[in-house]
Structure 1
Amino acid sequence: MVLRTMGAFLDKPKTEKHSAHGEGNGLHYGLSSMQGWRVEMEDAHTAVVGLPHGLTDWSFFAVYDGHAGSRVANYCSAHLLEHILSGGAEFGPGPSSVEGVKDGIRSGFLNIDEYMRNFSDLRQGLDRSGSTAVCVLLSPTHLYFINCGDSRAVLSRDGKVGFSTQDHKPCNPREKERIQNAGGSVMIQRVNGSLAVSRALGDYDYKCVDGKGPTEQLVSPEPEVCVLERATEGDEFVVLACDGIWDVMSNEELCEFVRSRLLVCDDLEKVCNSVVDTCLHKGSRDNMSVVLVCFPGAPKISEEAVKKEEELDKFLETRVEELLGNCGETGAPDLVSVLRSIASENIPNLPPGGGLASKRSVIEAVYNRLNPHREEEAVSLTPHRLWF
């Protein structure tokens, strides 16, 4: 299949997903990623349960959102963890080691950034790629949230958002001050009017100001590290995601949506796939990646929730059948018209945070079954024509 482009976008989204799952150290995780409307897939991820160097009861998860290419994101997904672990920190038990671990994380980021700078294609400017990184490092007692850029991590604790990393945007006062001190400017909310993030790995075009250290450049590779003690009873799950997810869902919406899915499905791959599909249908035009890490306190399947979900699906199926059955001589309405008609109704028990967008697949499956010979509707999934 030849994929034509519309500027920076394809004329049809690539909806194939890469998904996986695993468990260990009392955790269960799932992940999913989709290229979507973008011409290239530039996201990457890491999921490791049980770390080397004797840290078998530690785990590490990360999402990397690449830009201007995938080189930096892919290298970090394979090697950032080893740079962190070799950063000179003592990854031992007890609160006395927390600051040491934070120092090791910071050193790992600075070291990998300096290491990649020596790659010939990056050094010569043949590859100008960069990447955000959002990670969670889990010890038996602590959660280390690590952020560099505008991907984001959120912790669900006691049924609500218990913590969120803060995006590194050029307009943030502290970020803007550093950029200006390095001789740069912030225009149209971008570094020098170009780059939308103020911290990232790679992006060496923005890291060549003489007389400034690595953390004083226009774009800094320094991560922000926040440490929380684990709450055995309250901790439910952590979500790591790139901005392709956060562009269309708030922290609260995504946590509510994930929680509602965990009540009806214990397959974390499927839950993550549902997040990605829902964000596509909500209008995200970026690559999309999500990693979901569930603690023992995560919501469990509820018979009542499963029953409500089945009733909702049946209701939506019936509405599609009614809309197509009442079309008369005018012919069957197109899928977008059906979606818009249902979206105008007051439908109870839609998944919180996901809404009708999370049920598009149900509606589309019935529509396709009743219209097996219809022509493909190119307009039904465009980023410029939303239906809700």
Structure 2
Amino acid sequence: MSTRSERHTVPLSLLLKRELENERIERPEIVHGQASQSKKGEDFTLLKTECQRVVGDGISTYSVFGLFDGHNGSAAAIYSKENLLNNVLGAIPSDLNRDEWVAALPRALVAGFVKTDKDFQEQAQRSGTTVTFVIIEGWVITVASVGDSRCILEPAEGGIYYLSADHRLDCNEEERERITSSGGEVGRLNTGGGAEIGPLRCWPGGLCLSRSIGDMDVGEFIVPVPYVKQVKLSTAGGRLIISSDGVWDALTAETAFDCCREMPVDAAAAQIVKEALQAKGLRDDTTCIVIDILPQQKPVAPLPAPKKLGKGVFKSMFRRKSSESSSHVDKEYIEPDVMEELFEEGSAMLSERLDTKYPLCNMFRLFTCAVCQVEMKPGEGVSIHYGSSNPGRLRPWDGPFLCLSCQEKKEAMEGKRSSGDIVVEVTSHLSAISIF
């Protein structure tokens, strides 16, 4: 047996230093700036850093950034700014740990977007809004988007990555096919005599976007189901740019990053807006948010110029870490990992977007609508798997469940039938669908 004097001891100061370094690596520093030029007064932003939630005996922090570009008025943009975050958080059980909470975000964002759209349309307002919504928890970035505002990322390793989808009909063939296969029409504005002008639009209504919140006057083909992407940055960090179409109608992603290289976030946002106005003039509301995600042990400094990417670098940057490499958390020095893609889903089908790999008992409250969170009595819920073509795996008595109103919306937006035809059929199947 070894004596006390032979045992290896570690000074308390070294232990505290290691703990501090691990915390710094685990939690980046987030700094942001914004700039805008108003034409219609329909752009709104949500900037919330250091949001807190209780996790076990501790507190976890996260940051939220949102850009809402309204059209046909500002009511939908204002309503979404004030209610979307609460609707997203309301779809996540309160007892999840940090990893479970991050994993639940994609489904919760879908539920929050659809609930916000449903609640707003009950106010009989005709305006609509695009939404680009970003939640940063540690090094994980989760982005949900409808419309044509964009969120782009430049990690410290180099390269530019789109974290949002563009739902403008002119440039999204998949969305055009979804609308036409569901019974809608896509075409340009006809001025008479056969002449067609302007961007492609969805008819009825004439909206040039295929997804938005609001727009109750343009039919069921315009859906609020967001494209969701989740990535984990390396501990070297990166820079995000979130901008409305006033920027992207004038600048490419490369130009946006290049024009603000080595600038702090406030100056960078202002420079991007300035470049857009110089290129196209003030034709639309033009808003930009710049966010730097930085290691805390380093001072806030501009990111270095990105290295040029060679063949295969894109795939290697998104490779998943092995479980073996992630288990060595007690090293004195933790090497920066590479950026990982954790989740991506762009389907407009609610049944796909609400499905989950995680146990239903942990993710859904049994008698609460998985979309709008309304309380339901036993037997009232309609399973999202009702009518599934694969009954062996997805059974109609398995949750999550939707209320009748959300089921109507789901069926209509997926083009299976008009919203007025579903109530009788669904009601006749309630007893068979109930889990009791």
TM-score of the aligned structures, taking structure 2 as reference length: 0.55
CA apart distance, 1:110: 0.7
Q: CA RMSD in A?
A: 2.5
In 1, the alpha carbon distance for the partners of 2:227 and 2:185 equals: 22
| SS of aligned partner of 1:51 | strand
Contact 1:150 1:197 in 2 (8 A): yes
1:314-325 aligned within 5 A:
none
Contact 2:148/2:168 (<8 A) preserved = yes
Separation in 2, partners of 1:301, 1:98: 28
Residue 84 of structure 1: CA displacement?
Answer: 0.7
1:300 aligned residue: 301
Mapping of 1:11-90 within 5 angstroms? 26-35=29-38, 38=39, 40-54=40-54, 56-89=60-93
State the one-letter code of the partner of 1:92.
Answer: N
How far, CA to CA, are the matches of 2:72 and 2:97 in structure 1?
Answer: 38
What SS does structure 2 have at the residue aligned with 1:195? Answer: coil
Residue 56 of structure 1, CA deviation? 4.4
The match for 1:104 among 97, 101, 108 is: 108
Select which of 222, 225, 228 maps to 1:222: 225
Structure 2: distance between partners of 1:231 and 1:286 = 36
The 3 A distance-change label for structure 1 pair 299 and 254 is farther
| Structure 1 residues 162-311: aligned runs within 5 Å | 162-171=161-170, 172-188=172-188, 189-192=200-203, 194-207=206-219, 217-233=220-236, 235-258=237-260, 260=261, 263=262, 265-266=263-264, 268-284=265-281, 285-296=283-294, 300=301
Deviation at 1:100, TM superposition (A): 1.9
Match of 2:97 among 84, 92, 97: 92
Determine the C-alpha separation between the residues in 1 that align with 2:49 and 2:28: 7
Return the offset for 1:73: 0.6
Please, which of 132, 135, 138 is the counterpart of residue 137 of structure 1? 135
Query: TM-score, normalized by length of structure 1?
Result: 0.61
Q: Tell me how far 1:230 sits from its aligned partner.
A: 2.2
Residues 92 and 101, structure 2, Cα contact 8 Å, conserved in 1: no
Deviations 1:186-213 (A, max 9, x none): 1121112821111000001123xxxxxx
1:347 corresponds in structure 2 to: none
Map Cα deviations across residues 54-85 of structure 1 (whole Å, 9 max, x no partner).
Answer: 36411110111111111111111122111111
- Equivalent-residue separation in structure 2 for 1:301 and 1:140 (angstroms): 20
> Equivalents in 2 of 1:301, 1:72: separation in Å?
36
In the aligned structure 1, how far is the partner of 2:98 from the partner of 2:168? 34
Q: Secondary structure at the match of 2:250?
A: coil
- Structure 2 vs 1, CA of residues 92 and 190 (structure 1 numbering), >3 Å: closer, same or farther? farther
Larger radius of gyration: 2
**CA deviation profile, 1:257-285 (whole Å, cap 9, x unmatched):** 22x2xx2x43x223212221221111141
**C-alpha separation in 1, matches of 2:287 and 2:107:** 28
* 1:125-164 pair list within 5 angstroms: 127-157=125-155, 158-164=157-163
**CA 1:73/1:57 → structure 2, altered by over 3 Å: closer, same or farther?**
same
1:249 is paired with a residue of what secondary structure? Answer: coil
Task: For 1:354-369, list aligned pairs within 5 A.
Answer: none
Q: Residue deviations 1:207-231, cap 9 Å, x none?
A: 3xxxxxxxxx310100111111121
Aligned-residue sequence identity (percent) comes to 24
Q: Distance in 2 between matches of 1:251 and 1:92?
A: 36
CA contact (8 A) 2:47 2:64 kept: yes
Distance across 2 between alignment mates of 1:110 and 1:229: 26
Distance 2:216 2:208 in 1: 15
List structure 1 segments (4+ residues) > 6 angstroms apart after TM superposition. none
Tell me the CA shift for residue 97 of structure 1: 4.6
Residue identity matched to 1:190? R
CA distance in 1, matches of 2:36, 2:174: 32
C-alpha distance after superposition, 1:290-310 (max 9, x if no partner): 1111111698359xxxxxxxx
Contact 1:44 1:73 survives alignment (8 Å): yes
Mapped contact 2:28–2:294 kept (Cα < 8 A): no
Query: Secondary structure of the equivalent of 2:113?
Result: helix
Letter in 1 for 2:210: S
Which deviates more from structure 2 when the two are superposed, residues 188-197 or residues 40-49? 188-197
1:99 CA displacement? 4.1
- Cα distance in 1, alignment partners of residues 250 and 68 from structure 2: 18
- Match for 1:272: what amino acid? A
Work out the CA distance in 1 between the residues paired with 2:139 and 2:300: 21
SS in 2 for 1:166: coil
Aligned residues between the structures: 256
Return the alpha-carbon distance in structure 1 between the equivalents of residues 97 and 70 of structure 2.
Answer: 32
Distance 1:223 1:89 in 2: 21
Report how far residue 137 of structure 1 moved. 0.7
Residue in structure 2 matched with residue 213 of structure 1 by the alignment: none
CA contact (8 A) 2:185 2:202 kept: yes
Bigger helix share: 1
CA contact (8 A) 1:25 1:57 kept: no
- Matched to 1:85, the amino acid is L
Distance (whole Å) between structure 2 residues aligned to residue 161 and residue 299 of structure 1: 21
* Separation of aligned partners in 1, 2:174 and 2:102: 25
Unaligned runs of 5+ in 1: 1-23, 208-216, 303-388
Offset, 1:139? 1.0
Distance 1:299 1:271 in 2: 14
- Matched position secondary structure for 2:34: strand
User: How far, CA to CA, are the matches of 2:148 and 2:302 in structure 1?
Assistant: 32
> In the alignment, is the contact (CA less than 8 A) between 2:206 and 2:218 conserved in 1?
no
Equivalents in 2 of 1:151, 1:269: separation in Å?
Answer: 19
> Hey, what's the Cα distance between the residues in 1 that align with 2:52 and 2:180?
41
* CA distance in structure 1 between the aligned counterparts of 2:153 and 2:140, rounded to whole angstroms: 13
Compute the displacement of 1:151 (Å): 0.5
